[in-house]
Amino acid sequence: MYLMKRSIVLLACLCSLYACKNTSNNNKAQQFSDIASKYWEERMQLFPMEATSNGDYRYNDKMTITIAGNFRDSLKRFYQKYIGMLVEVDTNKLNVDEQVSFRLFKYEMNMSIEGLKYPTHYMPINQFWAPTIDLAQLGSGQGNQPFKTVKDYDDFLKRLSVLPAWADTAIFNMRKGIETGWVLPKTLVVKVLPQLKSMIVKDAKESIFYGAIKLIPDSFTLADKQRLTAEYLKAIDSVVIPSYGKLYDFFEKEYMPKSRSTSGISFLPNGMEYYQYCIRYWTTTGISADSIFNIGQQEVNRLQTEMTKVKDQVGYKGN
């Protein structure tokens, strides 16, 4: 999973951790608050695109290659460090909200370390999330990346410059995935292909990455407008199109023939184990997949019954 997929659990945890900073009334509670603050600061540096999405614009010019093996090693040490810090916290000195935050924080660290056992970085692109999608959304000028100042525009150019290295790493990883069986189902590969192809345009001005230039503020000087326009056109031609082109060719010619006919995580090597991990990660429970499905079915039936009651009450005769 792309971390740059932001966990609901993690965001809830971080928000509550920041909240507890203002409620700590003793040294032990303050210690936990300090740990939370340090974690936030360090995490934003490790995941600069996540920082941008959270409104922290200090690292808007950076893009970490989170799928790199050495980064994943660093990430494991990062989580282990903070688990070690939590040992020093006296939870008896924390108030109720802080104790909830503490448990969430510890849960997130342990689950994140466990998740690193699975080579999800061998499948760095899917039809729902990947930097190839995120960067396009940001570059359109309609996403979380701000384009209000000249620095904003320069920041994104620097961030975008990492794309070729990310693409090379992704291809390297996917070849490892082919060797080990960690590959996407063919039914998903066919959905990724048009997404990549749509980024390979003949005219750079037709690129979604040119969207930010279309929104360039009138307050910019003519010189800045001309420079940025030229640099964005150059980046699209020399960075964006070649990177997406390389990924598209790889997917079509090399990855597609090796993709699997099966669907679902459970068909990956150790897939059922990973599936159970995903359930625990996203639901924070040990409930089985079948139980979750049954709960969903029950809720659908309950909602349909309630909707039918309302339909009858207002005399609506349609579907």
Residues 30-53: tens digit of each pLDDT: 799 999 999 999 999 999 999 999
User: Could you give the number of structural domains in the chain?
Assistant: 2
The reply to whether 36 and 112 lie within a common domain is: yes
Within a domain: 305? no
Same domain, 152 and 113: no
Residue at 43 is within a domain: yes
Classify residue 58: in a domain, yes or no.
Answer: yes
Mark whether 253 and 151 lie in a shared domain: yes
Q: Which residue, among 45, 68, 66, 55, has the nearest Cα to 11 in the 3D structure?
A: 55
Which distant-in-sequence residues (6+ apart) come within 8 Å of 69 by Cβ?
121
* pLDDT, position 284: 87
Residues (pLDDT < 70) of the chain are 1-29
Closest CA to 13 of 48, 34, 38, 40: 40
The confidence score (pLDDT) of residue 13 equals 52
Are residues 106 and 174 both part of a single domain? no
| Spatial separation of the C-alpha atoms in residues 164 and 135, rounded to whole Å | 12
Same domain, 107 and 177: no
Whether residue 184 sits in one domain with residue 57: no
Nearest to 242 by CA among 199, 291, 293: 199
How many other C-beta atoms are found inside a 10 Å radius of the C-beta of residue 233?
Answer: 17
- Asked whether residue 61 falls in the same domain as residue 94, the answer is yes
> Is residue 228 exposed (0-12), middle (13-18) or buried (19+ Cβ within 10 Å)?
buried
Are residues 3 and 95 located together in one domain of the fold? yes
Instruction: Determine, yes or no, domain membership for 135.
Output: yes
**Is 3 within the bounds of a domain?**
yes
**Any domain includes 164:** yes
Helix (H, G, I), strand (E, B) or coil at 249: helix
Are both 125 and 224 inside the same structural domain? yes
CA 17, 77, 175, 250 dihedral sign is: positive
- Whether residues 169 and 179 share a domain: the answer is yes
In a domain, 112, yes or no: yes
In this structure, are 31 and 169 located in the same domain? no
Tokens 């159970």, residue located: 276
- Residue 294 covered by a domain: no
- 2 and 113 in one domain? yes
Domain range holding 201? 119-269
